Amino acid sequence: MKSVFRVVSLVAGVITVLIVLVLVYLKVTYPRSDPPENIIIKPDPQRLQRGRYLSRNVAGCIGCHSIRDWTRFAAPPKPGTEGGGGDLINPENGFPGTITITNITPFSLGTWSDGELIRAITCGVTRNDEPLFPIMPYPNYNLISREDVYSIVTYLKTLEPIENDLKKKELNFPINFIARIIPLQSYTPVPQPLSTDTLSHGRYLTNIASCFSCHTRMEGSKYAEGMDYAGGREFMIPSGVVTSSNITPDIESGIGGWNKEMFIRRFKFFDTDSTHSLPVGKDDFNTPMPWTMYAGMTEADLGAIFEYLQTCMPVDNKVVKWTPARVTK
């Protein structure tokens, strides 16, 4: 009996040592990412304008790196917080830990080199070689063209500095270790798609705009197979649960019955002074879908996204868009 006990405690000891070794290995050798490029981006008005457009209206940098105002439709950034970060992602949102969305104005990033900014945006590694959690959509930005990432960096450096002191992040065990292996080794830019090649252009923009991640249901930590763009991902917002729509070309449950004009109009509705910041009652339907941000996209770009989505696999998946909190409670 004694020897059985001894064997068991020996095995437990060996396992503990192995686990500790794996954790130390992860901590010391990850994230594995190429060193930042040694590069200086020449700012010019064209880059500034393109960077502003991508950061504000397509890639969502400014919308996410701000404090979102849930008293307004589609929760646009509170004026004066754009780029300053501050929103929390925490266990209340079903997240294994707490992350504060960072400040990306020069107050926080002013000393980062262009190469360090490019690496953070496209690979998910900070200046201090720490991993970024992929709520920051760097896996998508890894495919951004060089010219576009140069434009975004050019624009970031012109943001009004916002001074704040944000809480650091804390991830629960074992996610804090697993998160170290998520960042990407290298930036793999795609060539800038020609605007005349509507489908490639649409696919490119759809990727940068992160439509897939919100519009595809998750099963555990993976996207459900065969459910690309079929909706069903749930978002807890202060007034209830919103479920993302099916945006596949399925006629019944998706947007297969829409035409390009209808699609563009749905977005452009929010592109006016009076619809940019519509008040919403505290128990009423609201949405994480950043309508007001995308509303600033050009009609050509929205049209290209529509045309690309129409080439995706139709999936029959009816979604109930809204469950108010006062019903679920």
Residues that bind ligand HEC (CB under 6 A): 55, 59-61, 64-65, 99, 101-102, 104, 108-109, 117, 120-121, 126, 132-133, 135-137, 141, 152, 156, 169, 209-211, 214-215, 235, 242, 244-245, 247, 255, 266, 287-289, 294, 305, 321
Torsion of CA 64, 67, 69, 73, to 10 degrees: -10
Report in angstroms the alpha-carbon separations of 124 from 11, 41, 100, 121, 281.
38, 20, 15, 6, 37
| For ligand HEC, the closer CB: 36 or 60 | 60
Report in angstroms the alpha-carbon separations of 49 from 18, 53, 61, 116, 150.
53, 6, 15, 22, 12
| For ligand HEC, the closer CB: 16 or 267 | 267
Instruction: For the CB of residue 128, give the shortest distance to ligand HEC in the complex, in Å.
Output: 8
> Which two structure tokens, joined as six digits, stand for 63?
């919308």
Count Cβ atoms within 10 A of the Cβ of residue 29 and give its class: 0-12 exposed, 13-18 middle, 19 or more buried. Answer: exposed
| For ligand HEC, the closer CB: 23 or 214 | 214
How many whole angstroms separate alpha carbon 215 and alpha carbon 202? Answer: 16
Instruction: For the CB of residue 104, give the shortest distance to ligand HEC in the complex, in Å.
Output: 5
| For ligand HEC, the closer CB: 245 or 317 | 245
Is-contact 211 288, C-beta < 8 A?
Answer: no
| For ligand HEC, the closer CB: 44 or 170 | 170
How many whole angstroms separate alpha carbon 128 and alpha carbon 186? Answer: 17
| For ligand HEC, the closer CB: 63 or 226 | 63
> Which two structure tokens, joined as six digits, stand for 276?
């940019």
Is-contact 263 306, C-beta < 8 A?
Answer: yes
How many whole angstroms separate alpha carbon 293 and alpha carbon 80? Answer: 16
Report in angstroms the alpha-carbon separations of 290 from 72, 85, 150, 274.
11, 16, 24, 16
Angle at 241 between CA 71 and CA 286, to 5 degrees: 30
Instruction: For the CB of residue 101, give the shortest distance to ligand HEC in the complex, in Å.
Output: 5
Instruction: For the CB of residue 11, give the shortest distance to ligand HEC in the complex, in Å.
Output: 36
| For ligand HEC, the closer CB: 7 or 156 | 156
How many whole angstroms separate alpha carbon 55 and alpha carbon 67? Answer: 16
Instruction: For the CB of residue 67, give the shortest distance to ligand HEC in the complex, in Å.
Output: 13
Instruction: For the CB of residue 76, give the shortest distance to ligand HEC in the complex, in Å.
Output: 13
| For ligand HEC, the closer CB: 33 or 55 | 55
Instruction: For the CB of residue 168, give the shortest distance to ligand HEC in the complex, in Å.
Output: 8
Instruction: For the CB of residue 172, give the shortest distance to ligand HEC in the complex, in Å.
Output: 13
